[in-house]
Amino acid sequence: MTKRIIIILGILCCFGQVSGFGKKARPRMDDEAFINLYVQLAHATEENLADSVKLHNAQEEIFKRSGFTRRDFDAYMIELDKQPERWAKIWERISEELEKLKPQQADSTKKSNVLPEPSVPPALQKH
């Protein structure tokens, strides 16, 4: 009886290791990852505003490089909408990061030295 249990446990352990073999663990989104992703997406939007195909491709590339999906991003934003104080702190960080990009954008593209002001997320708008 004991041998059977040990054999069954051994088989289950091997099966668990084999089924997980080669799978890369997906990263878990946190505030820093969200902020970085949001800033990159906002920058890509500014750079590709006139061409929706280029914008879509740029966004897809950003998600691919980050290891997150649009669904991950949207789900995180929904969670932040439920926590307005936390969302406000994150929004401040996003705004700071976007401000840092303004001089770089002007130097690299010579299009304009001003990024549009980021829109305030609905959860933070005053009613």
102 within 8 A of 113, measured Cβ to Cβ: yes
Question: Rg (Cα) of the chain, in Å, rounded?
Answer: 22
pLDDT in tens, 7-44: 565 565 545 444 455 555 667 899 999 999 999 999 99
Q: Where in the chain are the domains?
A: 28-115
By three-state DSSP, how is residue 126 classified?
coil
**Predicted TM-score (pTM) of this structure:** 0.63
